Amino acid sequence: MKRIYSIEDACIGCHLCEIGCITEHSLSKDPVKAFMHEKERPISRCTVEELNGGITSLSTTCRHCDEPDCLQACISGAIQKDSEGVVRLDREQCVGCWSCVMACPYGAIQRNLASKKANKCDLCPDRETPACVDACPNRALVYREGSQK
């Protein structure tokens, strides 16, 4: 399956991947409306980690593991792997216990404290290429076939 890979050497720490992610998961899919006018602003599913004042940075996001620890840990069956291998979270079923958050070895699941639901990458089902990849100005995120590592 296609996965998102983060190229550390090319990440410039601009955080545009996060902005793309938030916009894509908003109601309007428009950045101005998503950030300034919509009631509930989504939480970005990718997070830019920075070290040494930004000299080292990379965008972390769900690896869509072959054997996901989050899926094992989920107490409500909200996390499932679909037929293509994408690890999906059903918000209706999520009870906000944060077991997945603790289980993920990549720190790729976020807590949405407002809605008390876990928050994770869904590889943007409405797009050909995930929003974060398209938003990156320096090709530090690539979407291609490969293993989880």
Partner 1 sequence: MLYKSVNESFNEFIVERKDTTCIRCKVCVRQCAYDVHRYIESEDCLTEDHTLCIGCRRCSALCPTGAISIHLNQEAFKKNESWSTAHIRNVYAQADSGGILLAAMGNPAKYPIYWDHLLLDASQVTNPSIDPLREPMELRTYLGKKPDNIEVVYDKTTGKPSLKTKLTPQLKLEYPFIFSAMSYGALNLNCHRAMAAAAEELGTIYNTGEGGLHKDLYRYGKNVIVQVASGRFGVSEQYLNAGVGIEIKIGQGAKPGIGGHLPGEKVDDQISETRMIPFGSDAISPAPHHDIYSIEDLRQLIYALKEATNYTKPVSVKIAAVHHIAAIASGVARAGADIITIDGFRGGTGAAPQVIRDNVGIPMELALAAVDSRLRDEGIRNQVSIVVGGGVRSSGDAIKAIALGADAINMGTSTLLAMGCTLCQRCYTGKCPWGITTNNPYLAKRVNPELAAEKLVNLVHAWGHEMKEILGGMGLNALESLRGNRYKLRAVGLSEKDMYLLGVMPAGE
| Contact between 1 and 84 (Cβ < 8 Å) | yes
Question: How distant, in Å, are the alpha carbons of 5, 31, 76 from that of 60?
Answer: 9, 21, 25
HSE (CB half, 13 Å, CA atoms) of 44? 19
Q: Which two tokens stand for residue 107?
A: 């720190």
Binders of partner 1: how many residues, by CB under 8 A?
25
Q: Which two tokens stand for residue 105?
A: 């070895």
Piece of 73-81, 88-96, 98-106, 137-145 that binds partner 1 (CB under 8 A): 137-145
Residues 35-74 that bind partner 1 (CB under 8 A): 35-36, 53-55
Interface residue with partner 1, options 5, 31, 38, 106 (CB under 8 A): 31
For the chain, state the CA radius of gyration: 15
Question: Does residue 111 belong to the site contacting partner 1 (CB under 8 A)?
Answer: no
Which is nearer to partner 1, 21 or 89 (by Cβ)? Answer: 21
Phi first, then psi, for residue 105 (nearest 5°) are: -75, -10
Its sign, for the CA torsion 19, 21, 26, 31, is positive
Piece of 76-84, 107-115, 124-132, 135-143 that binds partner 1 (CB under 8 A): 135-143
Residues 9-28 that bind partner 1 (CB under 8 A): 9-16, 19-20, 23
Question: How distant, in Å, are the alpha carbons of 37, 85, 137 from that of 31?
Answer: 10, 29, 16
Which is nearer to partner 1, 21 or 101 (by Cβ)? Answer: 21
Question: Does residue 138 belong to the site contacting partner 1 (CB under 8 A)?
Answer: yes
Contact residues toward partner 1 (CB under 8 A) are 7, 9-16, 19-20, 23, 31-32, 34-36, 53-55, 135, 137-140
